Amino acid sequence: MKICIVAEGCYPYVVGGVSGWINSMINAFPNDEFEILAIISNRDGSGKFAYELPKNVTAVYEAYLDDYDWNAGKKKKKKVKLSTAQYRALRSIVMGQNAEWKVIFDLFADNDISIDALLMGEDFFHIVEEFYDKEYSQIVFSDFLWTMRSIYLPLFLILGTEIPRADIYHCVATGYAGIIGGMAKHRYRSPLIVSEHGIYTREREEEILKASWVGGIYKSIWIDQFRKMSRLAYDSANIVTSLYGHARELQIDLGCPEYKTEVTPNGIVVENFENLPGKHEDELNKIQIGAVLRVTPIKDVKTMIQAFAYAKERVPNLRLFIMGPVDEDEVYARECYELVRDLGVKDVLFTGRINVKDYLGRMDMTILTSISEGQPLTILESFAAGKPVIATDVGNCSALLYGEEG
């Protein structure tokens, strides 16, 4: 059996979390063939894998959210005049009214479309103009038009993705991965599984609300776009899984048919975290706190550093280990280093990538300050190692700490 996993911004380029789950799943089915269709920002990241791929991964395909078709004009593609049906379908997606995705899937499958010409053409202009007159006439039209072009550029690029034929498609998020999953289901009639660790729409909403690059009513426009995309994924899927009950409820609230939903919790091999190496001799008088994470904004490492600085003033023998990759968002990582320096706080160690089993036994506790989570493996691993956990009340963290009825 050939299974195509569609992943956005994670496997095999980023370690931990969802990527680790994908890698474990592939290894758990050694007799099945897997292909990866990975969605990444642009070609600069092409082939930069953080994992040694399992032997049963036979191919990795890439799709880009920013590519030459728009930026450099290196690809000569057709200018397409939309038919009445195609115009109506694109309008239905932009307007969010009974979206006719299948017509758009066929449009991008049958025509080598110039995305540049489509975004700058009169059909798209008139659709956006109608949407503006109906919903957003209080703002400047030129700004609205360019916002819509920036929203639909990555979507059109993804719609133009070549999709390998497979027996099953498994999207590990909705969003752009869900678009590809919906296209694959329509094109090849193969079953589609959608698995969400965090709820993609809610995560994008949280990021946009905090973002400085978009303001005012434009935040709502972007958020609404991600809702449309997730609804397509839910409608197309045969099964939609989540990690815990409340996440399933959120999926249903976002439009997923209840009968498709299943809760499939994370799990770990507890025996792997028994009898771990303990503290080094020079650490015995320290209270050591471990944070196993990627140094990225969604993990809110800055709040963790500030909280540690506050606590260390009162308990001087505290030590914080920030354990995980620092190259996913190098700007944010640099800001974290600078924050440690500016606060003048001692005993903050950035370890980079590690084998968590080499460090977890040396910790007195672990900490997680994420602004969004699903069901964090780091909490399960800490419990398996007998370590207490401090965590923000996001995702399933509270239920893991206090119990589902706590």
The pLDDT tens digits for 248-270 are: 999 999 999 999 999 999 888 89
Name the token pair of 124. 């798209």
Is a pLDDT exceeding 80 seen at residue 404? no
Spatial separation of the C-alpha atoms in residues 149 and 124, rounded to whole Å: 9
Is a pLDDT exceeding 90 seen at residue 406? no
Spatial separation of the C-alpha atoms in residues 276 and 253, rounded to whole Å: 42
Instruction: Tell me what pLDDT residue 68 has.
Output: 72
Instruction: Tell me what pLDDT residue 16 has.
Output: 78
147-175 b/e with 16+ CB inside 10 Å = b?
bbbebbbbbbbbbbbebeebebbbbbbbb
Higher-scoring residue by pLDDT: 80, 363: 363
| Nearest Cα to Cα of residue 233 among 209, 259, 260 | 260
The pLDDT tens digits for 321-336 are: 999 999 888 999 999 9
Q: How confident is the model at residue 405 (pLDDT cuts 50, 70, 90)?
A: low
Is a pLDDT exceeding 50 seen at residue 24? yes
Q: How confident is the model at residue 77 (pLDDT cuts 50, 70, 90)?
A: low
Instruction: Tell me what pLDDT residue 298 has.
Output: 87
- Report all structural domains of the chain as residue ranges with CATH numbers, in order of start: 2-71+154-263 (3.40.50.2000), 84-149 (no CATH), 270-402 (3.40.50.2000)
* 78: DSSP letter: B
Instruction: Tell me what pLDDT residue 180 has.
Output: 98
Mean pLDDT check: name the lowest of 60-74, 100-114, 168-182, 298-312.
60-74
CB 330 within 8 A of CB 293: no
Question: What share of the chain in percent tops pLDDT 70?
Answer: 97
The pLDDT tens digits for 364-386 are: 999 999 988 889 999 999 999 99
- What order do you get walking across the sheet with 2-8 strand by strand? 57-64, 33-40, 2-8, 168-171, 192-195, 239-242, 261-263
Average pLDDT across the chain, whole number:
93
Instruction: Tell me what pLDDT residue 78 has.
Output: 62
CB 17 within 8 A of CB 197: yes
Instruction: Tell me what pLDDT residue 72 has.
Output: 47
* 353: DSSP letter: S
Higher-scoring residue by pLDDT: 16, 235: 235
Is a pLDDT exceeding 60 seen at residue 156? yes
Instruction: Tell me what pLDDT residue 273 has.
Output: 95
